[in-house]
């Protein structure tokens, strides 16, 4: 660009326009200065000033109108101080007199840090007399990033956590580290006077005991680790959409990934609810990057997930898999809710336009999320619910979908939910376009998406519904002998609920692998805290009272076992589920199968009739019969553990349930 003598500015080769481009000319002003006046000037004198204009201070939280509680009469500053004191108390060592000093905000952006500082002073009595002397840990500040927004958490993750990327659809891709699934063998539950009698211990139980002292050792380890960091994330959120039985949870974690995951999975408080949060009912200390100590009693690996119901605390060491927090809280609900006569359920739930409600039970990977997410129905929730006298309520505020082989065409609502705000765990993507390859199992087969439930367009908010009309038990039968759908009597429903069967095949690339049967009581033995028959009795009573029909749906193999047959098409399973919802399947003609004694329909709209009876689909009838008997034997063996238990007050129901298993 050159200014020529006559005050015009021209672009191009000497202003001759030889290359065909028109000349750009700016008119000369009276003072001889050329200005581009098409936009008004910026309201800043310096770059710093310019940057300060970019961010508007968050609106002070909603005015507190008509709220009762301890915070009502407090000034905003006083409320913030109390909030910090509460966080400081959560992070306090139980063996030191004072500390930690907690300050809100990102240490990397001191200008954004409010000056409020809080220091915890011990008031409780201790198992150990506290250390009064000063240590380095009491000199240091703990910076707290409190209930950050998804955008802020994205920035934290991308800046500080390796393996964090924005995918082409806007989701946050993260890595969960060495663990890409839960570690049930590393879960420990404190056995004390109360839990001794309340909980299910011993053979078959997921509750492996630890003592109070060892819990405190691990708690201290986690708290010291968290306080040693530059900053920690704190989420204050809720569980359970039933306002009468809502639980306040606090999650203290070291990673933006964990904070965003829980932001999505728990119920998000309104600003007003957050102001009045007060003391949490339950606290998680997630120090997942830091291992537990093998010299500590009860530790059998570097991972420990410890639950203390008396203290209402959970400690996580040695695993960064975020599902531990989700399912740890679910375990807590499996204890707290039955105490209030509320049944907790490892199930999905949705509701038709006419208000008919269905529950979907099933072990991991059987289809709870896939089938409860239904474009023609309202989604209540995909994984964890409560059934009380008020009806069904979702425990969570988000969904956690398996993503392996996810396709836009087969699961459009889940596909579209993978956008800004969604956490995508352990997926593989193109290094340049950041397009995710959902078929890639390089990191793990258990790739997952965690998104807020409102990302599903027809989610019903609040996530509550009336009493269920249908109770659908899902089993992914890789043996290929269970019918695609059967109608169950109440006793059969209980038999299959207590059995909790599925048979998946391990993540395999090639070669035929033997399907392995899994029996997991109440379709969630890893999460239940009481004996399975307690939950079964409650379910039977509720189904009876509300006239719900039980169904068994095989979302697994047909035409042979894994290796020779194939997985039942999702489109067929959806047709079967449609017929259950509409009530048309209840009107079908049924015939009884041998061995399992299941009532199978002769016709379902949209499904080839020949697949409804599994034997038809097997070329080798002898192999079918052998496989059927093999599975029946596995069911029988598994149920041995329950025959001595009474279900409910009624001997009659117990006898019926025992008779509802396979006969051969
Ligand atoms: N016929 C079918 N019915 C249901 N799901 C099917 C079928 N065929 C294939 N699938 C696939 O099986 C998987 C079911 O997983 P889903 O996420 O629904 O499990 P889940 O029961 O919610 O488990 P979790 O409790 O671990 O979240 C999905 O990846 C789905 O695409
Ligand atoms: O807990 C998890 O990691 C995933 C899940 O929903 C289940 O296994 O039931
Ligand atoms: Ca799920
Ligand atoms: Mn689940």
Cα atoms in the Cβ-side hemisphere of radius 13 Å centred on 609: 7
Are the C-beta atoms of residues 548 and 468 closer than 8 Å to each other?
Answer: yes
Residue with CA at minimum distance from ligand 2 atom 2: 323
Distance CA 171, CA 436 (A): 10
What pLDDT does residue 74 have? 75
- State both tokens at 549: 């029909």
Q: Which two tokens stand for residue 371?
A: 């089938």
Q: How far is 251 from 448, CA to CA, in rounded Å?
A: 21
Q: Model pTM?
A: 0.91
- Residue 127's pLDDT is 61
* Cβ-contact 638, 630 below 8 angstroms: no
CA atoms within 13 A on the CB side of 79: 20
**What ipTM, to 2 d.p.?**
0.97
- Measured by CA distance, the residue closest to atom 8 of ligand 2 is 364
Reported as a single tens digit per residue, the pLDDT across 101-138 is: 899 999 988 655 555 678 887 665 556 676 666 677 77
For 138-152, what is each residue's pLDDT tens digit?
A: 778 899 999 999 999
Give, using CA atoms, the residue closest to atom 4 of ligand 2: 323
SS3 per-residue string spanning 184-239: HHHEEEECCHHHHHHCCCCCCCCCCEECHHHHHHHHHHHHHHHHHCCEEEEEEEEE
Q: What is the torsional sign of CA 46, 50, 56, 57?
A: negative
Ligand nearest to the CA of 365: 1
User: Which token pair is 413?
Assistant: 């609502």
Nearest to 191 by CA among 298, 40, 80: 298
Q: How many CB atoms lie within 10 A of CB 364?
A: 21
Q: Which of 611, 517, 506, 600 is nearest to 558 (CA)?
A: 611
Cα(166)–Cα(426) distance, integer angstroms: 13
Residue 644 burial class via C-beta count within 10 angstroms: exposed 0-12, middle 13-18, buried 19 and up = exposed
* Pairing status of strand 313-317 against strand 304-308: antiparallel
Select from 623, 474, 498 the least CA-distant residue to 561: 623
Separation of CA 348 and ligand 1 centre (Å): 11
- The alpha carbon dihedral of 405, 410, 412, 414 has a sign of negative
The pLDDT value recorded for residue 265 is: 98
Cα(238)–Cα(273) distance, integer angstroms: 10
Q: Ligand 1 pocket, 570 CB below 6 A?
A: yes
CA–CA–CA angle 410, 264, 359 (5° rounding) = 55
Helix (H, G, I), strand (E, B) or coil at 576: helix
Tell me what pLDDT residue 80 has. 86
Q: What is the 3-state composition of the chain as percent helix, strand, coil, each rounded to the nearest 5?
A: 30, 25, 45
CA nearest neighbour of 104 among 94, 95, 114: 114
Ligand 2 centroid – CA 610 distance (Å): 34
Tokens at residue 537, please?
Answer: 């009795």
- Ligand 1 mean position, distance from CA 577 (Å): 14
383 Cβ closer than 6 Å to some ligand 2 atom: yes
Name the residue with the closest Cα to ligand 1, atom 27: 364
Q: Is the CB of 638 under 6 A from ligand 1?
A: no
| Pocket mutation for ligand 1, best pick of 261, 265, 327, 367 (most atoms within 8 Å of C-beta) | 367
Any ligand 2 atom below 6 A from CB of 364: yes
Predicted confidence at residue 18, as pLDDT, reads 54
CA distance 340 to 32: 83
Give, using CA atoms, the residue closest to atom 18 of ligand 1: 367
Report the distance separating Cα 350 and Cα 498, nearest Å. 23
The number of beta carbons lying within 10 Å of the beta carbon of residue 127 is: 9
Max intra-chain CA distance, the chain: 108
Catalytic machinery residues: 182, 327, 346, 364, 368-369, 383, 448
Ligand 3 (ion): residues with CB under 5 Å are 369, 383
The residue whose C-alpha atom lies closest to atom 1 belonging to ligand 2 is: 323
- Is any atom of ligand 2 closer than 6 Å to the C-beta of 396? no
Q: How far is the CA of 16 from the centre of ligand 1 (A)?
A: 68
Are 259 and 266 spatial neighbours (Cβ–Cβ below 8 Å)?
no
Helix (H) or strand (E) holding 626: helix 621-639
- Which ligand has the minimum distance to the alpha carbon of residue 324? 2
The β-bridge relationship of strands 436-437 and 516-519 is: unpaired
> Which string of DSSP letters, residue by residue, matches 323-357?
HHHHHHHHHHHHHHHHHTT-EEESEEEEE-TT--E
Choose which residue among 371, 402, 450, 558 to substitute to test ligand 1 binding: the one with the highest number of ligand atoms within 8 A of its C-beta.
402
Burial 132-167 (b: 16+ CB within 10 A, else e): eeeeebbeebbbbbbbbebeebbebbeeebeebbbb
Low-confidence stretches of the chain (pLDDT < 70) are 1-20, 22-37, 59-73, 110-116, 122-128, 130-134, 506-513
């Amino acid at each position: 660009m050159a200014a020529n003598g006559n005050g015009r500015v021209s672009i191009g080769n000497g202003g001759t326009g030889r290359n065909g481009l028109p000349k750009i000319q700016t008119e000369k002003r009276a003072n001889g200065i050329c200005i581009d006046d098409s936009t008004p000037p910026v309201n800043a004198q310096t770059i710093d000033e310019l940057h300060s204009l970019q961010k508007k201070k968050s609106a002070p939280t909603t005015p507190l109108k008509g709220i009762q509680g301890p915070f009502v009469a407090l000034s905003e500053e006083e409320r913030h101080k109390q909030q910090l004191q509460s966080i400081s108390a959560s992070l306090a060592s139980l063996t030191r007199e004072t500390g930690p000093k907690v300050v809100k905000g990102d240490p990397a952006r001191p200008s954004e840090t409010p000056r409020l500082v809080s220091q915890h002073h011990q008031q409780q009595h201790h198992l150990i007399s506290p250390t009064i002397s000063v240590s380095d840990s009491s000199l240091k500040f703990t910076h707290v990033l409190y209930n950050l927004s998804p955008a802020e958490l994205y920035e934290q993750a991308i800046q500080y956590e390796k393996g964090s990327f924005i995918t082409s659809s806007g989701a946050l891709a993260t890595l969960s580290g060495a663990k890409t699934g839960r570690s049930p063998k590393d879960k420990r539950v404190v056995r004390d006077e109360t839990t001794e009698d309340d909980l299910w211990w011993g053979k078959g139980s997921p509750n492996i005991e630890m003592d109070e002292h060892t819990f405190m050792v691990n708690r201290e380890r986690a708290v010291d680790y968290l306080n040693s960091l530059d900053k920690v994330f704190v989420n204050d959120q809720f569980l359970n959409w039933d306002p009468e039985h809502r639980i306040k949870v606090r999650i203290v974690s070291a990673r933006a990934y964990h904070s965003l995951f829980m932001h999505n999975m728990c119920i998000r408080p309104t600003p007003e609810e957050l102001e009045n949060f007060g003391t949490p009912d339950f606290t998680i200390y997630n120090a997942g990057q830091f291992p537990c100590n093998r010299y500590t009693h009860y530790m059998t690996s570097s991972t420990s997930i410890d639950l203390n119901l008396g203290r209402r605390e959970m400690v996580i060491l040695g695993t960064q898999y975020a599902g531990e927090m989700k399912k740890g809280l679910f375990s807590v609900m499996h204890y707290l809710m039955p105490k209030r006569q509320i049944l907790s359920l490892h199930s999905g739930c949705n509701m038709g336009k006419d208000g008919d409600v269905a529950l979907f039970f099933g072990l991991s990977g059987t289809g709870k999320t896939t089938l409860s997410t239904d474009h023609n129905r309202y989604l209540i929730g995909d994984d964890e619910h409560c059934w009380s006298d008020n009806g069904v309520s979702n425990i969570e505020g988000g969904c956690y979908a398996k993503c392996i082989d996810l396709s836009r065409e087969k699961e459009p609502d889940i596909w579209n939910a993978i956008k800004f705000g969604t956490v995508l765990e352990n997926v593989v993507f193109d290094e340049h376009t950041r397009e995710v390859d959902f078929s890639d199992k390089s990191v793990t087969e258990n790739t997952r998406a965690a998104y807020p439930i409102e990302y599903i367009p027809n989610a019903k908010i609040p996530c509550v519904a009336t009493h269920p009309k249908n109770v659908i038990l899902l089993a992914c039968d890789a043996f290929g002998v269970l019918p695609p759908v059967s109608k169950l009597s109440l006793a059969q429903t209980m038999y299959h609920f207590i059995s909790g069967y599925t048979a998946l095949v391990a993540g395999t690339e090639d070669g035929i692998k033997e399907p392995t049967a899994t029996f997991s009581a109440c379709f969630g033995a890893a999460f239940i805290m009481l004996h399975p028959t307690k939950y079964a009795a409650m379910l039977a009573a509720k189904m009876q009272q509300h006239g719900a029909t039980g169904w068994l749906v095989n979302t697994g193999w047909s035409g042979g076992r894994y290796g020779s047959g194939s997985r039942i098409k999702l489109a067929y399973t959806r047709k079967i589920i449609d017929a259950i919802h509409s009530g048309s399947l209840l009107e079908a003609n049924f015939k009884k199968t041998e061995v399992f004694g299941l009532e199978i329909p002769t016709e379902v709209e949209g499904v080839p009739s020949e697949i409804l009876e599994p034997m038809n689909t097997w070329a080798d009838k002898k192999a079918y019969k052998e496989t059927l008997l093999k599975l029946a034997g596995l069911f029988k063996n598994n149920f041995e553990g329950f025959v001595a238990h009474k279900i409910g007050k009624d001997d009659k129901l117990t006898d019926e349930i025992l008779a509802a298993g396979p006969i051969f």
